Structures are given as C-alpha cells and as structure tokens.
Structure 1
Amino acid sequence: MHVLVTGGAGFIGANFVHQTVAERPDARVTVLDKFTYAANRESLAGLDIEIVEGDVADRDVVDPLVEAADVVVHFAAESHNDNSLNDPWPFVQTNLIGTYTVLEAVRRHGTRLHHISTDEVYGDLELDDPAKFTASTPYNPSSPYSSTKAGSDMLVRAWVRSFGVEATLSNCSNNYGPYQHIEKFIPRQITNVLDGRRPKLYGAGLNVRDWIHVADHNSAVWRIIDAGQLGRTYLIGADGEMNNKAVVELILELLGRDPQDYDHVADRPGHDLRYAIDATPLREELGWEPRFRDFRAGLADTIEWYRANEAWWRPQKDAVEAKYAKTGQ
C-alpha cells in the first residue's frame, strides 16, 4: 500500500507516520507538508519515507502525489485556536481550500481518502450536561479554526454524495503525546515546568477536554481505513474527560512540584466549556479500544518524552512564551 499523509510533519500526522512505519512495514509512505512553524522535520528523522515540501492547496503539487497513492490520510490543517483568533486567513486557505484541492484530486484519480477532523466542530457542552457528542450532533463551531474544520467536513460529505468519492471521516477529541508543538496546552505546561517557569492556566481552568493519547487516535484511524463504512463519520475518544485545572495540577505533581504552583492568566475569547466524545460505534462496530486507558499513566509517559527530547522543543520555547506574554497569557 502506498499511503500519502498530508500534514505528516505535524503533531498527529508525524505520530501516524511513525506508527505506520513500525506496524505496517510493507507500506510505502509519502509525506506532504508545507513546513510551517507547526511542522518539524526532526519529528520524522530516521524514517525511510518520502518527504515532499509543498502546500496542500496547490493543485500542481497535490495531484501527482494523489495519483500515485492508494490512500490519502488528510491531516494537513491549521489547528491552533489562539492563532485563528489573531489571523483567520491561513485557516481558510489550508482547511477549506486545501481540503477542496485534495478532494478534487482524489475524485480525478479514484483514490481512497480518510479525512481527519476535530470534536470542536460541534461547539461545546455545558459543564453539568451528561450528554456527549455523537456523529448526529449538529455542528456549532465557535472559532475560525473550528468553523473552517466544520467547513472541510461538509466538503468531504458533499463530494462523497455528489461525486462518489470513497472517503471516511473522523472527529477526534483533544490529543496529547510526543511531538506536539509547545504552543499547545499540555506540552506548554510540561515545558514550562521543565524550564523552571510557572505554568499558565486560562481563566479559572474549569474548561473540560476529553483527552486521548495520539497513539490511540492513530490506531483508530487505521481501523477506520481498514474496516470503516465509506461515507461514514466516526468519532474517536477514550473517555478521558478532565478540566484544565486538574491537568495542570497533575503535571506539577508528576514533576515533583507543588500542584498549586501556577498562574491564572486572561481567558481565551469564546473559550469552549466542555467537549466529550461518544465513541460507541467505533468500539462496538469496528472493535477498536484505546491502549492508554489511564490518563495519568499516559501523561507521565508524555512528560518523560519531553524530558528526554529537550533538543526537539528547546529552540521554539522562548519565542512561544514571548508571543503569549504580549497578550498577558
């Protein structure tokens, strides 16, 4: 199998490439990545793969790669909410125009597609609401990031229905694990502590996220590619609900610091309250189960990765913190 991975030098995509190389030795992997600030060549170091630097919205780059592939796994996306609030255009360009470009290429060449999306397209839930997101939950995005991801999902569904594109979709809860850019919540707090800084918590920190280890996300993606029903959307989650305050305090505890040794900073505009995924169809119909069932153990594993790979994140750290300092966060 020849697998084209768009955005394969980003966080989830790079982990997907590592898992594919390790678990599917007969697969040939090509990575297409624009190598913006969020991508890192070092995340793919040592792998026997083809790497193409290019824009997912550029037809001349995308088309021959899709033609040569058996399956396209479309991770490429601008994904940081704070950045989308500061400058929405890159999110429109990559998430919408990029997905359109991929869809037209797979339509021309009859290539199988799996589209990666987020639970943020559904908006948020009240903190005391027992409900969870399902594939039938109405879309209600709240930021330029989540709205452009919602739009990309709709494009895929329309191309499936109107043009018969062979595609599946997945919407996943918040990922954590190796190779995640340190502007993101968990790696930012881990590297703050490792760097001798105090972690930063938006607002009161009561916002709840449904955490899943990136290795579990990617094992679910392969299960969907192998056995999922074409045209279907699958939700990926590991029942890992925890509020941000508890996550920061657990990071501090695991690193031997006082769990209260953090600062509250200005909250993000329009900050979603709670995400929660119902992954029942994925588990019952496709037989998938997460490996990292214990968030504490998964977080400890992630902390050790960042501790052991300071050379990977150190060059970015000062610039990230300087950016946040300008906004008081």
Structure 2
Amino acid sequence: MSQSATVESNSIGLLSKPEVGNTGSLSAEEAKLYDRQIRLWGVDAQRRMRDSRVLLVGFGSLNAEVCKNLVLAGINHVTILETHTATPEDLGAHIFLEPSHIGSNRASACVENIKLLNPTATIAVVEGNVESQTDDFFKSFTVACATNCMLTSLYHLNKVTRDNNLFFFSADAYGMMGYFFSDLKTYSYVKKEADGETSETVTVKFSSFEEAMTQRDWSKMRRTPSLYFGLSFIHQFKNREGRGPSVHEKEDEGKMRDIAVQTFKEKGLSVDVLPQDFISQLVANASSEISPVSAIIGGILGQEIIKVLSGKEEPLSNFFFYNALSLRNPGETARIPASF
C-alpha cells in the first residue's frame, strides 16, 4: 500500500520506538514547565511520557480532546492519522477547528492551534487512514488511539499493536453516548499500600478488541452495559451500509432494530434486556459528536493513556462506557471477557 503525504510541525521524523526512560534527563526548561506534574508522579514518569510517541487515528471532537490532554501533560511526540476534511458540523464540537479550516484536512488545519498549548511539542500529521499505511508505519509508536474507524480496521490495528508491544486504545463519541477500550496486553504497574511507604508490582492481562467484541454467548452478560451491545450494532450497520446510522434516514432505526433482534437471537439472549427506547436513542445519537461528552470521555481516556505511559496507578480494565441519557449510571466500566 502506498504511503500518503506527511505534514509536520517542528519536524524530526518518525524515529524508532524509544527505550522509554533511557533517553536522558529532563532539561531545565522541561523541569520548570512540568514542575507540578513532577511533584505528583516523579521525574522518571515525566521522562517516560516525554519520550513516548503517540498515534491518534482520526481527529474528530473526541481525539481532539485526547490530544489536548496529552500535549498539556508533556507528551511531546504526537502523530495524527486523518483522512477527513473539516465540515461546518465539526465546528460545534471540535476545540481546535475554526471556520477558515472548512474543507481542509481536520488534523493539518489544527497543528498551529495545538502547539499553542505546548510549543515544545512535535505534532506530525499523516493525511490518510489505517488502510493506507503499511504495518511498519505503526511500529515506531508507543501507543495508538483509534477513533472513527471501521471494525476491520480496529481489529487489524490492534493486531499490529499486539505483535509489536504497543498500547492500544479505541474510542468513539456518539452524541450523548460514547466508549473507549484499552488493550495493554500484559501490563505491570506499581501499587502503593495503604501505609504509603510500601508498594508492590501488579501485573494485569488484557484481551484484544476482537476477543472482547466477538463473545459467542451473551446469555451470561445480562448486567453488561447496554452500550456494549449498541457498539456491536453500530459496527454491523456500518459494515452493511458503508456509513453509520443516522436519525435523518427514516429506515435506519428499523434496520438497527433488525440487527439487534437477529444478533441477540444468535447470541442466546433476549433483546428485552435492553431498555425499551435504547435503539431509538442509539440511532438518534450515533452520527453526531457533542463537545461536553467528548470532553468527558476524552478527559478520562487521556488520563488512562498518561497512566500507562507514566507507569503510575491502576488502569481501567478494559471498557469504559458513557451514556448521559442513563438515569442509573452514566459512566460504567466493564471487563469483557470476564475470564481472560
């Protein structure tokens, strides 16, 4: 596959994946800039974050929030892989886009605004998608966070990250709903005991996104957040229609309902476990991004990426779901599959 054009700011190229934590001490400027963070998690953690290389796939409202949080935290090497151009609809939710950016690549147009947050950061943009890159392209990164992708692209990217020991996240915002997923493969972190003096190293194993999404038996998943099932329905719809469901298309709700009924039948669980109006809400929200929701999900997701790059604190495992329309609990985590 051909390599697409690259636009860079403060270009240093895509270097090989560093040995995180072994590339030199922080400069006096960096120590001053990140003084508060260093007091929180230490010099070694800040250096690991600085030396990490993050790939953001897709640059809608959600990944823009993630990018903001990472750059402010001191992650100095961010590459954005984006194929979409900015539209008027993007302006209502995207924190970096301006009216003059309409018609331009969403990531390329935002580079200067991103660098206002941290002038020391290197922001590279590759105008393309997952399918347009060779597997070697992805190997130089420490972590990949993918949004706005087809399911097959997410499975492929996750396989590449697993084969090359990269951290993998996938995420999307659907109006008042959204999710993110973490695959850290086998991850170790330092856990402090209650006395604050002693600590232990804890190792956690994660499933791949494909393993989590292709559970054969749903009969034991009655307490699973509804949005897990909704995520499956959205991706099946996109695979069949070549686009996401939209409230503006009259037949889409019926198509989504048919997918839900058939899928639940195949998985051995009654569709009645879903809230009565869930499919309607899902279709009404699936094709939009809302700034406050992107900020909430992007804030928590950015925090998770910082956690794993710094090696501090216990990561969430492995799904986070957000549904602002839920009266019970808008934010829920779920470990799927439960037995990995």
The two structures share one fold, judged by TM-score above 0.5: no
Task: Give the greater-gyration-radius structure (CA).
Answer: 2
Indicate the structure whose relative CO is greater, using CA pairs within 8 Å and at least 6 residues apart. Answer: 2
Q: TM-score, normalised by structure 2?
A: 0.39
Q: TM-score, normalised by structure 1?
A: 0.40
